[in-house]
Amino acid sequence: MSEISITFPDGNTRAFPKGVTGKAVAENISKSLAKKAVAVVVDGRLSDLADSIDADATLKIVTRTDPEALELIRHDAAHVMAEAVTDLYPGTKVTIGPPIEAGFYYDFEFPPDTRISEEDLPRIEAAMREHIAADEAFARRDVPVAEAIEIFRAQDQGFKVELIEDLVRDEGVETVSLYRNGPFEDLCRGPHGPSTGRIKAIKLDSVAGAYWRGDENRESLTRIYGTAFFSQADLEEHAARIEAAKERDHRRLGPQLGIFMLRQEAPGMPFWLPNGTTLLRLIETEVREQLRKRGYQEIATPQVLDVDLWHRSGHWDNYKDEMYFMGDGDRQFALRPMNCPGACLVYASQRHSYRELPLRLAEFGRVSRNEREGVLHGLLRVRAFTQDDAHVFCTEDQITAEVASICEAIDELYARFGFDDVKVELSTRPEKSMGTAEQWERAEAALAAALESQGREYELNPGDGAFYGPKVDFHVTDALGRSWQCGTCQLDFQMPERFDLHYTGADDSAHRPVMIHRALLGSMERFVGILIEHFAGAFPAWLAPEQVRVMTVSDKFADYGRKVEADLKASGFRAQGDYRPEKIGFKIREAQLEKVPYMLVIGEKEQTAGTVAVRGRSEGDQGAMAIAEFVRFLQREVDEKRLPAGVG
């Protein structure tokens, strides 16, 4: 029997018989490792333990402690859920059930007389636990497509038939893989763990509606979400994080704190309330400080532009399904989904010399995108939003310095808001794109060189660039450890060509500039939603829409209270007074719920002494202070832009 060479992660190499399985390799190393193994990674590809290895390869044994393992058992759990559902509800049609970031889901078409709600989830969970306890093996077989189609037709599983026919049409496959666990067999690429018994803890979370293939014109489906872990302790920790996230949910806190509201009259288009408008302006001030420091000029361009412009920019071919349109006689217009064409027109309105470059044009630009209503999510996914946008026109040899400056601005801005864990991702050419391969290679190499010149670590995200150029995305980690994509820096050789932009070089000839699209925060709406959840609505004093609430123990001290309030406002603070004839305990509780950083309590003693009793949102009673002393105290906190304990 011929042998093959297996190289392990530590660099050691061993010989095994050709056709050896990952399970046999694990058993050869140690019995304890074989018991812990759930899969193998062969030449970088996750595979079943039962797959044979027929050529020299690198191999890693995957156990429960490896990052790949959790996604694997969640895929296992999705199949177990489908098995349980088809047991409990005969006649259910099965569609797809992938693992996702925090768990898994499966979409089903239930019989017409069956309606599934969250009240049914414990019953499904109980059936799943029976299959898990049975330790059913996951067994794969590869069958010709004609046979697979007949199998699923006989089971009246038309969605599976459609998937197979699409694989034949799109990929030319001749065989497909099926996985069986217990009596349930499903069309699946795999891989899977060795058996259902490796799943140690499950929880079904919710029920939602869905459409087959995401198409509103296709069949309505029921989506069941769940999660799975290797231990009950991990599941409980996950549940605690979910509860913490619910407490911080911006969709609840935002309206409660008077920041924004959403209405059915304008789905996905937030209404900013007074506190929210104040918060936006404070965030804009921080962004504008970066603009001032880095030589940006601010512009404002129209939200409605002739559709010919969007043909010219390339958005018509690549983005029209997400755009809103309107007519004026024979002329058609579009609400802008992006700000870049307007910036190009501003640049083109004047002649430019190489001495003016880089030219940095910033805009808080309002954009509109026709997102499907089903994917809207508070401020995090909206139809109308403002970007802290900018477009830098520069020469190719200025790219490195400009990208470095943008990265530094992002670092400073994120630190200001308490985000000190920032991850960077470089996304390359997508399948749907403009320009030549050579242009994309130059652009991708330029961005990579700019990041490497800063010694900045980044991950590669192949195929996820913008349609006009590669991009660098910045992901922040919030107080709950969740990652959010915010800022972006995109390199564009296409738009300057489409708009025939040029500058006069030192040789007195016309040259094409490079265009850098950049947003420090991204969508202002989305960033506010992230901030609300990051701070749980308890903004630091410098950022809080209301910094101080003055409250009296009796209405006879209202005049003194109003004087204190006026002094605070004259000093530049955002203060409000509460002089209602309510008990002081009630007023304090209300201010705490509204997350006001400081409460100043005024009674007879304070009025007589010309002081205020200071109470901090987190610190509680901080004693009496003269008004001037409190002003100095709060001014220091605001000037230093202090963050709450545990943030930043």
Q: Other C-beta atoms within 10 Å of 429: how many?
A: 22
Distance between CA atoms of 260 and 379, rounded to whole angstroms? 9
Task: Report how far residue 222's alpha carbon sits from residue 206's, in angstroms, rounded to the nearest whole number.
Answer: 10
Decide if 8 contacts 40 (C-beta within 8 A). no
Which of 48, 76, 388, 389 is the catalytic position? Answer: 389
641 φψ region: left (φ > 0), alpha (ψ -120 to 50), beta (else): left
Q: Is 391 a catalytic residue?
A: yes
- Alpha carbon distance 553, 543 (integer Å): 28
Asked whether the bond before 430 is cis by omega within 30 degrees of 0, the reply is no
User: Which DSSP string do the residues of 561-605 spell out, in sequence order?
Assistant: HHHHHHHHHHTT--EEEE--SS-HHHHHHHHHHTT-SEEEEE-HH
Max alpha carbon distance in the chain (Å)?
100
Q: Is 407 annotated as catalytic?
A: no
Active site residue 489: no
C-alpha pair distances (Å), 502 with each of 279, 349, 449, 475, 493 = 39, 11, 24, 34, 12
DSSP lists the bridge partners of residue 226 as 104, 204
Q: How many residues does the chain have?
A: 648
User: Are 493 and 525 within 8 A, CB to CB?
Assistant: no
Q: Which of 23, 517, 518, 595 is catalytic?
A: 517
CA distance 405 to 142: 54
The label of the residue with tokens 């989830």 reads 121
Q: Which of 74, 471, 534, 595 is catalytic?
A: 471
Of 76, 107, 203, 387, which is the active-site residue?
Answer: 387
471 carries an active-site annotation: yes
Q: Which of 391, 549, 615, 617 is catalytic?
A: 391
Give the pair of three-digit tokens for residue 134. 């049975």
**Which of 74, 75, 107, 340 is the catalytic position?**
340
CA proximity to 367, closest of 342, 332, 392, 346:
342
Dihedral angle sign, alpha carbons of residues 584, 585, 589, 595: positive
CA 598 from chain center: how many Å? 33
| Edge-to-edge order in the sheet of strand 184-187 | 138-144, 175-181, 184-187
CB 139 within 8 A of CB 179: yes
576 is catalytic: no
Tell me the C-alpha distance between 413 and 570, whole Å: 28
Distance CA(107)–CA(97), nearest Å, equals 6
Angle between helices 121-133 and 67-88 (to 10 degrees): 110
Phi, psi of 517 (to 5 degrees): -90, 130
Nearest CA to 434 out of 312, 305, 309 is that of: 312
- Contact (Cβ atoms closer than 8 angstroms) between residue 363 and residue 353: no
Q: Report d(CA 183, CA 203) in Å as an integer.
A: 22
* β-pairing verdict for 611-616 and 598-602: antiparallel
- 3-class DSSP state for residue 507? coil
Task: For residue 361, give both structure tokens.
Answer: 């044009």
Q: Identify the three-state secondary structure at position 163.
A: helix
Task: State the Cα angle at 540 between 612 and 277, rounded to 5°.
Answer: 100
CB atoms within 10 A of CB 404: 15
Q: Which two tokens stand for residue 230?
A: 């290797």
| Residues belonging to the active site | 340, 369, 387, 389, 391, 471, 517
